[in-house]
Structure formats: structure tokens, C-alpha cells
Amino acid sequence: MEISSELFCVVSPYLSKSRPALDVTKGTDNVASAHLAQILCSFTDMSALISLRKRAQGEKPLAGAKIVGCTHITAQTAVLIETLCALGAQCRWSACNIYSTQNEVAAALAEAGVAVFAWKGESEDDFWWCIDRCVNMDGWQANMILDDGGDLTHWVYKKYPNVFKKIRGIVEESVTGVHRLYQLSKAGKLCVPAMNVNDSVTKQKFDNLYCCRESILDGLKRTTDVMFGGKQVVVCGYGEVGKGCCAALKALGAIVYITEIDPICALQACMDGFRVVKLNEVIRQVDVVITCTGNKNVVTREHLDRMKNSCIVCNMGHSNTEIDVTSLRTPELTWERVRSQVDHVIWPDGKRVVLLAEGRLLNLSCSTVPTFVLSITATTQALALIELYNAPEGRYKQDVYLLPKKMDEYVASLHLPSFDAHLTELTDDQAKYLGLNKNGPFKPNYYRY
């Protein structure tokens, strides 16, 4: 298979003198071939991001941008980083999750000249050391942040306030990270503009919903081989992630319960055919517990003590705070590693609870996620970075903003050719009747898709 020149900087480690050129169709080197093939597949499946790159590459809209990123480091991230570099940026990167890094991808990026500080299975100390190494470098001053979870932003804000003040923009893609940004803004401590990508339509409705609808089963099957027909499952939270998880589980015949704090989401769950309960009401009978709230202490030690033998516990939210894993690290409980990212926590009476990824994000820790959906998010992130970096002075204040509706629509339009989809165009008379520009935006900002 011939490798395109624009992909070379991502896959170059596999083509170096120390390693013969690989033909991914032969698969002679299992590890390297698999990851090379994965990057190539990601490149192909992220056609919209590549289209954006081709359209903007001549203008170099990120020339002079020094982007420090903290996201999952996967084959799809490699294509995003390579795109940002092609648009003129310099990048330094760390991981937002200690289990989600694909080591071969991180190595490929490093050999291609991107400073990457991450590896799969970091300790907590390693995690913060890697973030610090991204920021603390003589002669290199970051001026943009791309974050997933807010840890990088928090670290820069607390440890390097002078660096934080010189940041031109922050792009954040998670519930937890966005919450932290709004807290800073409310307290009057956010001294740079920030873009809330998590609540953009193209992130929330596609990554959060469709990605989780497919990857929840992948993660659970790879780790536990569980059969879902007839199993009782409780999903904590019925936001977009919860909706995606429930749709997949219901389709396989699982009996699904929902816990919710929001009456609107709860009513949606009821109308979708799910029982809305308190966790305490079903904790003794369910076979699987899945959290996806973005909150903390959703599943407590009391809940864990009351679970039935062999109950599977996992988290589909971003943070590692939803399940109180710390309370399980006590002398009376025994931990038994069954396989990678799968632990049996054993009580004195012999009861076992199956804990996945130590309470961290299940799908990116234990499985892969659909590349096409990640292309939507990556394209949204790239546009948000370009927008903040190039915005005229005064357009964005020291506050948190949603991605402009026109950009959301543009991201969606870039992905439609993959489905051979053809949009209907408004006539002048129709546009006038609706009070719209023929080229969009087509919905007001308050519209709920």
C-alpha cells in the first residue's frame, strides 16, 4: 500500500531505517502493522477533517499558534495533530486519561517531531508530570489550549499564572472541563476567552450520542464477554451519553433502568420506555451499573457493598469521580487483576464486583471508538481553534462561548459527502418566508436538535 506524503509525518517511525517499510495488507509485524493500518483507516475515515485541511492549508490560519493539548492520544488524535501542524501550528501534547493512550501512536508523533508526553498505564504522578512537561519549557510559550476534562487548563491556571494570562484561547470538549471554565468565569478569574465545544451540536449530538451508542457494547464485550439479553442494567444519567448507551442496551434485550436528577431528562427516559428509579431501589438486583453523569460519588461504597455477586461496574462519563473507587482500597477488600483493565474486587464473604478501567472512561480505556464520529469532533475542535486564534480583538471577551451556529453547520456539511447526501436548497421566496439566509444558519441558537 502506497502511503501519501501528507500522512508521512504520522507514520514515519514505521518507515525508518531501523524498521522495514510495512505493507499493511501483509501484516508481518503484528503490532506495528495493526497501528499503521489503524492510522491509515483513521486518515481515510476522517475525510471531512482532511477536506478542511486542504481548503485552509494555503492560508496557514494557525501560523504562529503554539497549541498545548491534553486529550486521548489515539490514531484519530494523530490525524488531528498533523492537521493542526499542516495549518501552521506547533503542538505539544499529553493524555487526558491514564489508560487511553495508544503507545505506538504517541511514539509515531514523537518521532515526527511533535512533543508528546504520554503512555498507557501512567500513575497519577506520571499524569501530572506529563502535563507539566508540556507547559514548562524554556523558550516555548503556549498561546492556545485544547483540553478534554480541564486538567491541563487547571494546571496552567494554578501553576503557571503568567502563562495562563498570555493564552489567546481555550477550547474545551468535556462536561467536566466546561463546568470548571464556567466556575472560573462566574468568579471573574477567567482572563482568556474559551470555546465550549462540548455543548456544540456537532459534539453533543454526534460524539456523545452516536459514539457512546456503539462503543458502550464494544467496551463491555471486550472486557467481560457478557450477554445482555435479559440482563438488568442501571444507567446513571440520561443526557446524550446515557441516551446512546440505553439505546444500544435496549436493542440487545437488556432491561434498563435510569437514574436522573433532571425532570426533563427523566421524562424523556419515561417516554422512551425506561423505568426511572433511585439507585438504592435497584442496586441489589441489577447485573450492570453504568455511570454517565459527569458528577462525583454517584456510586458510593454503600452502593458497592449492596451489589449482587459479579455485578459489573463501569463509567462512561469523562471524569474518574463518578464511582468511589478510593473507598474500595481498604484492607478488608482484595483486588484481583483478571485481565487488562478488569479487576475483581472481593469482599470478605466472597462476593465479587467486576470493576472496569478502575472507574475511568470505559470506551477509550478498554476499546476503540468510531473514527467517523471522532472526525466530527476533531473538525469542530480545529475550527474552534482557528476561530479563537484569528478573531479580531474584542470579538471574544474573557468568557465562555458556544461555537457559532454557522460553524456547527459547516462541520456537518463537510461530513455529508461520506453518505452521498444531497441537501435541498431554499428558493429565494422560501428563504424570505422563513426569514433566513439561503446559506444558513438555518436554526436559532436556542433550537434543540
Per-residue 3-state assignment (H helix, E strand, C coil) for the chain: CCCCHHHHHHHHHHHCCCCCCCCCCCCCCHHHHHHHHHHHHHHHHCHHHHHHHHHHCCCCCCCCCEEEEEECCCHHHHHHHHHHHHCCCEEEEEECCCCCCCHHHHHHHHHCCCEEECCCCCCHHHHHHHHHHHHCCCCCCCCEEEECCCHHHHHHHHHCHHHHHCCCEEEECCHHHHHHHHHHHHCCCCCCCEEECCCCHHHHHHHHHHHHHHHHHHHHHHHHCCCCCCCEEEEECCCHHHHHHHHHHHHCCCEEEEECCCHHHHHHHHHCCCEECCHHHHCCCCCEEEECCCCCCCECHHHHHHCCCCEEEEECCCCCCCECCHHHCCCCCEEEEEECCEEEEECCCCCEEEEEHHHCEHHHHHCCCCHHHHHHHHHHHHHHHHHHHHCCCCCCCCCEEECCHHHHHHHHHHHHHHHCCCCCCCCHHHHHHHCCCCCCCCCCCCCCC
pLDDT, residue 404, reads 87
Known binding positions for substrate: 74, 148, 173, 203, 207
Tell me which of 1-5, 73-77, 106-110, 264-268 is least confident: 1-5
Report residue 275's pLDDT band, with 50, 70 and 90 as the boundaries: very high
pLDDT, residue 91, reads 96
Cα 180 from chain centre: 17
Q: What are the structural domains of the chain?
A: 36-199+392-412 (3.40.50.1480), 210-366 (3.40.50.720)
- Mean pLDDT, rounded, for 87-98: 95
For residues 142 and 67, the answer to whether their CB atoms sit within 8 Å is yes
More confident residue, 349 or 51: 349
pLDDT, residue 38, reads 58
Whether residue 6 is predicted with pLDDT greater than 50 in this model: the reply is no
How confident is the prediction for the chain on average, in pLDDT? Answer: 88
pLDDT, residue 430, reads 96
- Mean pLDDT, rounded, for 292-321: 93
Whether residue 125 is predicted with pLDDT greater than 70 in this model: the reply is yes
Known binding positions: 74, 148, 173, 203, 207, 239-244, 260, 363
- Mean pLDDT, rounded, for 307-324: 92
Whether residue 235 is predicted with pLDDT greater than 90 in this model: the reply is yes
Whether the bond between 441 and the residue before it is cis, its omega within 30 degrees of 0, is yes
Whether residue 382 is predicted with pLDDT greater than 60 in this model: the reply is yes
Known binding positions for NAD(+): 239-244, 260, 363
Query: For the segment 150-190, what is each residue's pLDDT rounded down to a tens digit?
Result: 999 999 999 999 999 999 999 999 888 999 999 999 999 99
Report residue 42's pLDDT band, with 50, 70 and 90 as the boundaries: low
pLDDT, residue 202, reads 86
Report residue 41's pLDDT band, with 50, 70 and 90 as the boundaries: low
- Mean pLDDT, rounded, for 65-90: 94
Neighbours of 185 (CB within 10 A): 16
Whether residue 115 is predicted with pLDDT greater than 50 in this model: the reply is yes
Whether residue 64 is predicted with pLDDT greater than 60 in this model: the reply is yes
Verdict on whether the full-model pTM lies above 0.85: no
Whether residue 4 is predicted with pLDDT greater than 50 in this model: the reply is no
Cell, residue 294: 459527569
pLDDT, residue 237, reads 97
For residues 266 and 243, the answer to whether their CB atoms sit within 8 Å is no
- Mean pLDDT, rounded, for 66-95: 94
Report residue 340's pLDDT band, with 50, 70 and 90 as the boundaries: confident
Tell me which of 25-29, 310-314, 329-333, 362-366 is least confident: 25-29
Whether residue 449 is predicted with pLDDT greater than 90 in this model: the reply is no
